[in-house]
Amino acid sequence: MAKFLYTTPTAGQDGSFADINESLDARTNRLQRALERDAAIKANQQRTNATLLSNAQKQAASALKRTDGYDSAKLLPEVRPLFAEYVRQQKESVNYFMSGDLAAQEQVIKNIEDFYVTYSAHTQDPTVQATREEMRDLATSPEKKEDFAAAISPISQLNLDLDDFIQAESRHLTGFYQPGTLRLGENGVVYGLSANEDEQGEMPITQMGAWKGQDGTYDTSPYLGTKATKTSLEIATSWVRENAW
């Protein structure tokens, strides 16, 4: 079989230079059209890719924004860095929302929200907030303390001061677990060692008795007592002295 050359005349051509040039021009034109078609396809693909990338970036920015705005100050002090670590892990699992898996992205957003709601409940529970506010007011206002005791009985006395409130605050925020033992476990569960000797071994902090009984942290009843009253002998002696000639 003879080797084809661009200068080889095709059927119907006589091999003249005119025919050869015509053949070259036709092949050149076909090649040019093919190159232009390939360039158009590539340009269109690049535009498509740029649009997809732009949309993905917008989606990622929107998703990232939904994971911002959490007030870490509402978490226990030692839980705050664990929350930051958990958020980082969750974002990395979906390539910071560039993965394209929208279902996985929504799950990550929900996971972060669930973690925050779970562990901020220790300080943000309405009952906890109400009893904390009441205890602080009673500890810092002698008038409110007297009114509180008088509403119970004429001889009641509330032996509560600011130091007592500070101690209750400390127990609530850091005193129910052993400092330095908190860690982030699987599925966003925070583990630690309880300060209660009856609770042995590492456990989820939400299972600790002090966490479950958090609404009793700021209970003022242990500080409620009675005013010092005179004994019968003291009353009689005082009467005699007051009526002596």
Task: Give the distance, in angstroms, between the CA of residue 126 and the centroid of all CA atoms in the same chain.
Answer: 19
Structure confidence by residue, pLDDT tens digits, 34-55:
888 888 888 777 776 555 555 5
pLDDT, tens only, 59-116? 666 767 677 889 999 999 999 999 999 999 999 999 988 887 889 999 999 999 999 9
Q: Is the pLDDT of residue 13 over 60?
A: no
Bridge partners, residue 203, by sequence: 192
- Full-prediction pTM beyond 0.75? no
Question: Helices 102-124 and 126-140, interaxial angle, to 10°?
Answer: 30
**Residue 123, both tokens:** 């300080």
Indicate whether 244 pLDDT > 70: no
Distances from the Cα of 26 to the Cα of 20, 22, 31, 40, angstroms: 10, 6, 9, 21
Phi, psi of 80, rounded to the nearest 5 degrees = -55, -50
At 137, list the tokens. 């007011």
CA distance 56 to 67: 17
